[in-house]
Chains A and B, each alone.
Chain A
Amino acid sequence: MSLWRFFLVILRFNAVTFGGGYTIIPLLKQYFVENKKVLEEDEVLKLTTLAQSGPGVMVVSASLLLGYRLFGIKGALVGIMGAVLPPLVIISIISLFYQQFRSNLWVSAALAGIGGTVVSILFITVFNMAKNALKTNPVFSGLMMTASFAAGLLTDIRTSVIIFSVGLLSLILFSFYKEEQIP
């Protein structure tokens, strides 16, 4: 597979996959492991696990790691570009139209209803995320969830400080104790 072909594939997957990252992974796996046979399934699993546990945009990390594995540094850069370009182009165009039409009667009427549905979508998504996060180490997870909720709602502590402290605490705790030892 050529570098150019790789770029086009990453670009295409990122341009047609809705709802962000997680839907792209099975597509990538199918293409690179089953169709092109340039990667082992276990390599894709390893790189997506790393991409998911890192900060930022999961698809960008996954495309970078794929590119690096196949073509080295060049591939990593091409992977990044392929993942970033579609949303950059699409949203920039939408954003320009948005500034023009937001005050239009029809558009603002539609967006009033949409705003309501977005709130519900978020609420239920957060609820599902919470259920998911509480599956392992429920006491510790519940404590972290409640503490950051309270800190975010009731205090002026910066979000960055909350994230940094929780990350550090969690790293220390899970380095000294085994996962099974933490309730």
Chain B
Amino acid sequence: MILWQLYRVFLTIGALSFGGGYAILPFIQKVVVEEMHWLTIVEMTDVIAISQMTPGPISLNAASFVGTKIAGLSGAVVASIGVITPQCILMLILSRYLFSGKEIVFLEKMLKGLKPAVVGLILVSVIGLVESVIFPKGGFYLDKTNIASMVGMIVGAVLMIKKMDITKIIMIGGIIGLSFTLSL
């Protein structure tokens, strides 16, 4: 059943995404996009953009987005509960120790290796994204849409280095997209 499948997939993602918001990207790309075909890679890029423009962390946003697309509101609820189930069980167990003064160090030890490993995995996903954002139809070609994406990429890189607010960068990306596609 689709709801059960949604729950299971997002449960696994929730159990294994260590090291902050973007840690979920490799899973979304490999499992949700490539394995389950619940999102296209273009939709995945859109979800990331939407996540930057709305409150809430990427994992919960992605769970709600995929859930709604696959099974409507109940899908969104099930996927969101799935993604937080492992951490809730773990934290409920650990909370007793935390506030009785015991030190909890095993997660921090795991994180020593996981933090850099996750960076490596996210980089793999981002490299995959470049190709599908710039050449969504595959192969090398130039048209209005992908020239707009390339310009967006270059402008985005410059503004990111200048530390402009991410929400503003995305809005500028939207303006670039509109003006290139509609004027050329």
Contact = CB atoms under 8 A, between A and B. Distances in A.
Interface of A: 14-22, 43, 46-47, 49-61, 64-65, 68-69, 73, 76, 80, 84, 86-88, 90-92, 94-96, 98-99, 102, 105-106, 108-126, 129-130, 133-134, 136-137, 140-142, 144-150, 152-153, 158-160, 162-164, 166-171, 173-175, 179
Interface residues of B, number: 110
Interface in B157-176: 157, 159-161, 166-167, 169-170, 172-176
A76 B95 contact: yes
Contact of A90 (B27, B56, B134): B56
Contact of A20 (B49, B56, B152, B182): B56
A54 B86 CA distance: 10
Given A18-B55, A91-B76, A60 B87 contact: yes
Contacts of A174: 109, 112
Nearest to A18: B55
A41 to B, nearest CB: 15
A107 to B, nearest CB: 9
Interface string B108-136: 11111111111111111111011001100
A85 B153 CA distance: 33
B99 A126 contact: no
Contacts of B36: none
Given A76-B95, A137-B112, A171-B109, 7 more contacts: A69-B95, A92-B73, A126-B126, A133-B115, A149-B123, A162-B117, A171-B110
A159 B17 CA distance: 10
Contacts, number: 372
B26 A159 contact: yes
B77 interface: yes
Given A18-B54, A118-B49, A159-B27, A170 B88 contact: no
A123 B98 contact: no
Given A55-B16, A88-B80, A147 B120 contact: yes
27 contacts: A14-B55, A15-B55, A20-B51, A46-B98, A60-B60, A64-B91, A65-B95, A88-B64, A95-B76, A108-B145, A112-B177, A113-B177, A114-B46, A116-B176, A116-B177, A117-B173, A121-B156, A121-B169, A126-B22, A141-B112, A145-B116, A146-B120, A148-B117, A163-B18, A168-B110, A170-B111, A174-B112
Contacts of A112: 145-146, 148-149, 152, 177, 180-181
B61 A118 contact: no
A25 B86 CA distance: 22
Contacts of B178: 106, 109-110, 113
Contacts of A126: 22, 119, 122-123, 126
B152 to A, nearest CB: 3
Contacts of A80: 84, 88
Contacts of A162: 117, 121
B48 interface: yes
Given A15-B55, A91-B54, A114 B95 contact: no
